[in-house]
Amino acid sequence: MMKDYYIDCSFKSREGLCFTDRKVELEKLLKLCEKGYHTPIVVYGPEGCGKTTLLNYLRHILSRSKEFVVVYVDALQESVQEALKIVPEIDRREIMKMLESLARMDIREILVRVYDIVHILITKLKLSKKKLVILIDDVYKCLGLENVDKYTKMLYELIGWKFRRELMLDSVLVLLTTSEGVSKRELLKHTYVNVYMLWNMSHNGFKLLYEQLRPEISFEDAWILTGGNPRALLELYEDNWNVDKYVRRILQKVSVIIEDLPKDRLRRLVEDPDSDVELARVLEDRGLMIRLLRGELCLSEEPSPDRELGIGEKWAWKIPAYRLAIEKLCR
């Protein structure tokens, strides 16, 4: 159905870029939307790898079909008007009128009362027999890490009992995103949720994104610094493709993050990301490394181990520039 290297200008990202790549992920996600899933699904991935963009694009694609009701919540927005987006598209004021009692709430309450929102929509718009997709972006940043278990379990209960039985929906999928290593580790312990990893973009897909930015550095240079992370590429673009400036900024940031950590152990992690789980976990919590999920748990094409890109079997640097910075700082 989709071309191998996918680009769709009917959807533009916040920065005005055409939606690019993610064919593998979209095929899996669309299948899940179609059939529903009995547990919530949490998509975990490096900061800036494109989780929010993918979730918004999914909503865009689903809005083309009459089969779906989509409730999208951007949990980091201040106001309900900004945070809540609904498919089928109805007039914004109309939704607010329908959800009058909720409009005055803050986003936390909206998240907790997601059942009420769905209930109002389904009954007022007579939408039973549809497929329900709930998309919540950055949920745990909003609710706090202490609520990760409780909230996810509540969603699980809603899927099994309330959504399917009371509202007579055809299928239900609840998809959440997080870039917090701690929340992912917590959730992996439980059977009432499934965690999937979204990795940075594929080599060929990333090239299509790079070409949209009228680049002034070679593609290989961009790839070797960013490893396919779109936000990192946008930072290079903002720095007017001045690689030295970009690298200096990363060096300054990383030097603060690692100043209390042992240099010899960091050096070993630079050589082999799998060499020190204990330190890798510390670096995951500080935003520099990530525990990879492979096989069934990887939504993207699995990243191949690659020393230069800082990818091991189990652990990876979130972007290669972090690994390069630590290599320099620990010399």
Which listed residue (11, 52, 208, 265) binds Mg ion by CB under 5 A? 52
CA distance 42 to 292: 14
Q: Which of Mg ion, ligand ATP, none binds 207 (CB below 5-8 Å, type-dependent)?
A: none
Question: Which residues, in sequence order, are bridge partners of residue 134?
Answer: 71, 174
Chain CA centroid to CA 21, Å: 14
Tokens at residue 211, please? 């070409």
Tokens at residue 2, please? 């989709």
53 vs 194, which CB is nearer to ligand ATP? 53
Nearest approach, Cβ of 161 to ligand ATP (angstroms)? 31
Nearest approach, Cβ of 45 to Mg ion (angstroms)? 9
Q: Does 77 bind Mg ion (CB under 5 A)?
A: no
121 vs 209, which CB is nearer to ligand ATP? 209
**What distances in angstroms separate CA 206 from CA 5, 8, 55, 82, 234, one per listed residue?**
10, 14, 18, 29, 12
| Burial of 228 (C-beta count, 10 Å sphere; 0-12/13-18/19+) | buried
Q: Does 147 bind Mg ion (CB under 5 A)?
A: no
**What distances in angstroms separate CA 324 from CA 149, 209, 309, one per listed residue?**
36, 23, 9
Q: Which of Mg ion, ligand ATP, none binds 228 (CB below 5-8 Å, type-dependent)?
A: none
| Burial of 225 (C-beta count, 10 Å sphere; 0-12/13-18/19+) | buried
Nearest approach, Cβ of 284 to Mg ion (angstroms)? 17
| Size of interface with Mg ion, in residues (CB under 5 A) | 2
Q: Which of ligand ATP, Mg ion, none binds 89 (CB below 5-8 Å, type-dependent)?
A: none
Nearest approach, Cβ of 212 to ligand ATP (angstroms)? 8
Give the residues lining the site for ligand ATP (CB under 6 A). Answer: 13-15, 17, 19-22, 45, 47-53, 138, 179, 209, 230-231, 234
Q: Does 275 bind Mg ion (CB under 5 A)?
A: no
Q: Which residues bind Mg ion (CB under 5 A)?
A: 51-52
